[in-house]
Amino acid sequence: MTDRIREFLRRREDDSPCVVVDLDIVRDNFEAFAKSLPDTSVYYAVKANPAPEILSLLENLGSSFDCASVGEIEMVLATGAAAERISYGNTIKKEKDIARAYQHGVRLFAVDCVEEVEKIARVAPDSKVYCRVLCDGAGAEWPLSRKFGCAPEMAPNVLEHAHRLGLTAYGVSFHVGSQQANLEAWDFALSMAAGVFQEMALRGIDLKMVNMGGGFPTRYLKDVPGVPSYGEAIFHALTKHFGNRLPSTIIEPGRGMVGNAGIIEAEVVLISRKSAEDEIRWVYLDIGKFQGLAETMDEAIRYPIRTPRDGDRTAPCVLAGPTCDSVDVLYEKTPYELPVSLSIGDKVLIEACGAYTTTYSTVGFNGFAPLASFVI
């Protein structure tokens, strides 16, 4: 919680739930990445929070951008950023969208199969492509599925295919899994990337770049290593696997860039029990899974919550959202400790909500408006 956010909320008159993002924190985060990984380019993962004020700030600070769609590419270009600062990082693209990106000047594309390489060769000649390899994500709070990337032993064939079709076989990417707190994860992934570099060298093709993806965590209830620890671990793994022929490198922080910069203010709508003997209260907020808190799915992310009654005795409760949908429950398997004095109408602050909240909000499920967003 920052003084600027506190002051903003104090003056706000509307009482619907909202998220407020403090750009000073985003700036601090960008500078921490730049300082801890001085030879690595930062490509902000736009999908984490595409608010125009955030994109403009990062454009001014010299960031590049990882985009998932033409829609995101156009949001970035609207800040005045040059197309050279954009990576079209989605491995799943319609050919017409690749063509539109190319017309916009984008020349850097992710692939994970020959089918995607062929689309790019047809409509985005002379572009650079990097091949995403599967990574097991061990140690991440949210290990990724096998959706993105190919087996490491297939990557050289994909890249060689690109080379033969006149594209620049540029490098390798991986993603160690979201909210990754195990610093060793990058070591394993970089050893795999180095293996692809070696195989390509044997085939006479020199790769240039390793895209180390995202995965940098935000502090929710548990402590996580700071950005400098990640910087050291990554630099160590790079020199271990690439020796003194270091590739150029990029990272794609999203959650790590904006997660801790945002706070959601919400209201307690109802507190009740299911029976006279029930030991656990149900606390219902005016925000839930469908208006921004989708990452509580399977209780994956446990947000810190502040209340005006903090300091009073606490007791466990089930925390739920306001919709008529029975899956709209935030924490039930592991109930949440909240003050017993908490009352209907109290405002609560949900911390570390700067990433993956506004864009996960539905258009209006149950007739509730999407999450209001303010960037200050």
Binder of a second copy out of 284, 303, 331, 336 (CB under 8 A) = 284
Phi, psi of 50 (to 5 degrees): -90, 20
- DSSP, collapsed to helix, strand or coil, labels residue 204 as coil
Q: Quick one: which of 191, 149, 195, 197 has its CA closest to 174?
A: 149
Q: Show the site string, 322-351: x = touches a second copy by CB under 8 A, - = not.
A: xxxxxxxx--x-----------xx------
Binder of a second copy out of 55, 134, 261, 342 (CB under 8 A) = 134
Q: Which stretch binds a second copy (CB under 8 A): 69-77, 190-198, 236-244, 304-312?
A: 69-77
Q: Which residues contact 329 (CB under 8 A, 6 or more apart)?
A: 288, 289, 318, 319, 320, 321
Binder of a second copy out of 150, 338, 342, 348 (CB under 8 A) = 150
Q: What is the distance between the alpha carbons of residues 65 and 294, in angstroms, rounded to a whole number?
A: 24
Q: What is the distance between the alpha carbons of residues 274 and 311, in angstroms, rounded to a whole number?
A: 26
Binder of a second copy out of 271, 308, 314, 374 (CB under 8 A) = 271
- DSSP, collapsed to helix, strand or coil, labels residue 119 as helix
The answer to whether 362 contacts a second copy (rule: CB under 8 A) is: yes
Question: What are the catalytic residues?
Answer: 324
Alpha-carbon 103 to chain mean position: 27
Q: Which stretch binds a second copy (CB under 8 A): 99-107, 191-199, 235-243, 319-327?
A: 319-327
Describe the crossing of helices 95-103 and 70-77 by its angle, rounded to 10 degrees.
Answer: 10
Q: What is the distance between the alpha carbons of residues 281 and 237, in angstroms, rounded to a whole number?
A: 48
Q: Which residues in the 196-215 window bind a second copy by CB under 8 A? A: none
Residue with tokens 């850097």: 108
The answer to whether 123 contacts a second copy (rule: CB under 8 A) is: no
- Least distance in Å: CB of 11 to a second copy? 20
Q: Which stretch binds a second copy (CB under 8 A): 29-37, 42-50, 188-196, 305-313?
A: 42-50
Binder of a second copy out of 269, 335, 339, 374 (CB under 8 A) = 269
Q: Show the site string, 215-244: x = touches a second copy by CB under 8 A, - = not.
A: ------------------------------
Q: Please give the helix or strand (H or E) that residue 338 lies within, else none.
A: strand 329-339
Q: What is the distance between the alpha carbons of residues 63 and 56, in angstroms, rounded to a whole number?
A: 10
The answer to whether 70 contacts a second copy (rule: CB under 8 A) is: yes
Q: What is the distance between the alpha carbons of residues 300 and 290, in angstroms, rounded to a whole number?
A: 15
Q: Which residues in the 72-91 window bind a second copy by CB under 8 A? A: 72-75, 89-91
Cβ closer to a second copy: 232 or 325?
A: 325
Q: What is the distance between the alpha carbons of residues 30 and 42, in angstroms, rounded to a whole number?
A: 8
13 CB-side CA count, 13 A: 0
Binder of a second copy out of 77, 109, 368, 372 (CB under 8 A) = 368
- Least distance in Å: CB of 278 to a second copy? 8
Q: Which residues contact 347 (CB under 8 A, 6 or more apart)?
A: 265, 266, 267, 268, 308
The answer to whether 364 contacts a second copy (rule: CB under 8 A) is: yes
Q: Which stretch binds a second copy (CB under 8 A): 34-42, 189-197, 305-313, 361-369?
A: 361-369
The answer to whether 195 contacts a second copy (rule: CB under 8 A) is: no
The answer to whether 273 contacts a second copy (rule: CB under 8 A) is: yes
Q: Which stretch binds a second copy (CB under 8 A): 23-31, 180-188, 220-228, 276-284?
A: 276-284
Binder of a second copy out of 9, 34, 61, 68 (CB under 8 A) = 68
Binder of a second copy out of 22, 116, 141, 187 (CB under 8 A) = 116
Describe the crossing of helices 114-123 and 95-103 by its angle, rounded to 10 degrees.
Answer: 40
Q: What is the distance between the alpha carbons of residues 345 and 286, in angstroms, rounded to a whole number?
A: 10
